Structure formats: C-alpha cells, structure tokens
Amino acid sequence: MEYNHLLGITFSLFSAFFWATNDIFNKKLILKGYEENFVLWIRFPLGALLLLPFGLVYWDLNETVIKTTFLWLPSEILASIFFIKSLKYAPLSLAMPFYATMPAFSALAGWIVLGEVLSLRNWLGILLIVYGTTLLAGKNIKSFFTLNKGVLYALFSSFLFGVNVVIGKIAVVSSNQFFFSWYYCLVMSLALIPFVKRFEVKDFSSDWKFFGIVGLFFSLGMVFYTWAYIYTYASFVAATERLAILLDVLYGKVFFGEKVKNAFKASIIMVLGVFLLSL
C-alpha cells in the first residue's frame, strides 16, 4: 500500500513538471498575440493524435465513462477557459499559486463524494493554503482582486478543477488511465471548438514548434496524472501536482521578468499546506 502511494505521488510529480513547463509556452503564445481560447484548444487535438495508440490499445469505453462525461465535461470546459484567461490577465507567478487551492477543493469533494478521510494534518494543510493566498492578496483583498481579475479566473478554475478531480477518478478507475487520457483529449478537442474565435491558420506555421511542445507536454502530463489516480487518493494526486506552483513562480521570474511581492514566500507556505494535505 505504501509503495503504491509513493508511486502515485511520483507520477503526480512528473505531471506537475510537464504541466508547469507547458505554462511557459502557453504564456508565450498568448503574448505573441494568439487568441487565448485557440491556445487552450490546440493542445487537445494534438494530444488526441499523440495518444491515439494508447486509446486504441487500451480501449475501454464503458457505461461509467460515458455517464461521468456528462458530469465533468461542462465544468471542465468552463474551468479550462478560466485557466487560460488567468494566464492572459495575470502574471504567471501570481495566477498559478492560486491553483494551490485546488487540492483543498478536491480534498473536500473527495471527503463528501468518495468518503476519503481527512486527518487533522490534512485540515491544517488546507488552512496553510488559505493563509498563503491571503499573503499574495495583501492587506486590501478587495482592491487586489479588483486589480487582478486573472486571479479571480484562477480561483474559479481551481474550484471547478478540484471538484472534477474526484469525478475524473471515478471514470479512470472504471476504465484505465491510458484510454482515459486519450478519451479526455478527444472529447475536449471537440467540446471546445465553439469557443475558438478563429483558427489562426496563417500564423500557425511560424510557431509550430511551440504548439508541438504544448501538445506533447500536455499529453505527458495527462498520462502521468491519470496514472497516479490508480495508486493513491484523488486529493493526494491533486495536492502533489500543485507543487508545480513553485516552478511557475520560478518560470515567471526567469522567462518573463515578473516581480510579484511575497510570491515565493506564499508559494512555499502553500506547498507546505499541500504536503500536509497529502500525508
């Protein structure tokens, strides 16, 4: 049991690395002038193409997968759109730390829906995550959120993703992680088409390497994320994957010259909260 738990945490860490690094290229593409919903959408058809062999070899489209799709898909679409808007309207090192709240949301959802028990340490972890968010917001919380609408997008997105983590685990466990990774990319690539204003065909060729990396890194993150589901609690997967916020803060400073007050301090406190939550 302990070995399986450790394996799940390890896969979550791999997912954190790939998805955090992917944020660099998402941000760069948005800064290049690409419409944010297009940047969001493109990863999914590329992911569906890259993961197609997994989908065929490990095919397991059962009744549970289909039924849960109607539960997670609407909120997943909304959460994804909020996510990409948080990248557009806020610095990377400011928006991403607020995704540390996601494990708290998923832990509470796991507690309510799946009966996953939370200890005193887990609850302390949730409190530390909340405290870290207040450090980033500063003394005038109302003014902070008024000036940083990207952070509000991040919080809304974090809540929806946090709840969906629990529903997603039900689908993954009922089939398998490899099939669901491909299935998720396929469904999202179709569902997000109405939200893409234009397909940027003219500009796509000049940045094909960036888009290729976005598709590859997202796919790898997706595989390891769903794989981790098999070995440990949904709340633990979400908690460990949120360690990506430290990378995002570092990436924001190194690649975009961002200087966000208390970003590292708040992120470390949040990561400590995530650690306690995952024990």
User: What's the rounded Cα separation, in Å, for the pair 61 and 213?
Assistant: 28
Tell me the chain's radius of gyration from C-alpha atoms.
18
Burial class (CB in 10 A: 0-12, 13-18, 19+), 228: buried
- Scan for tokens 């234009």, then name that residue: 198
Residue type, 50: L
Secondary structure (DSSP) of 38-52:
HHHHHHHHHHHHHTH
CA atoms within 13 A on the CB side of 47: 29
User: What's the rounded Cα separation, in Å, for the pair 71 and 161?
Assistant: 12
Give 123-177 pLDDT, tens digit per residue. 888 888 888 887 887 766 667 767 778 889 999 998 898 788 778 888 888 999 8
State the SS3 of 229-262: HCCCCHHHHHHHHCCHHHHHHHHHHHHHCCCCCC
* Cβ–Cβ under 8 Å, residues 17 and 217: no
User: What's the rounded Cα separation, in Å, for the pair 253 and 88?
Assistant: 16
User: What's the rounded Cα separation, in Å, for the pair 100 and 146?
Assistant: 21
- Predicted confidence at residue 199, as pLDDT, reads 54
pTM across the whole model: 0.85
Higher-confidence residue of 42 and 230: namely 42
Domain boundaries of the chain, sorted by first residue: 5-278
* Cβ–Cβ under 8 Å, residues 216 and 18: no
230 CA to centre of own chain: 18
Q: Looking at 64-73, 88-97, 205-214, which range is the least confident one? A: 205-214
Taking the alpha carbons at both ends of the chain, their separation in whole angstroms is 14
Query: For residue 8, what pLDDT band results from cuts at 50, 70 and 90?
Result: confident
* Cβ–Cβ under 8 Å, residues 246 and 75: no
- Scan for tokens 């419409």, then name that residue: 35
Residue closest to 135 by CA, chosen among 151, 153, 123, 121: 151
Give 183-240 pLDDT, tens digit per residue. 999 999 999 999 997 655 455 667 888 899 999 999 999 999 888 878 877 667 767 7
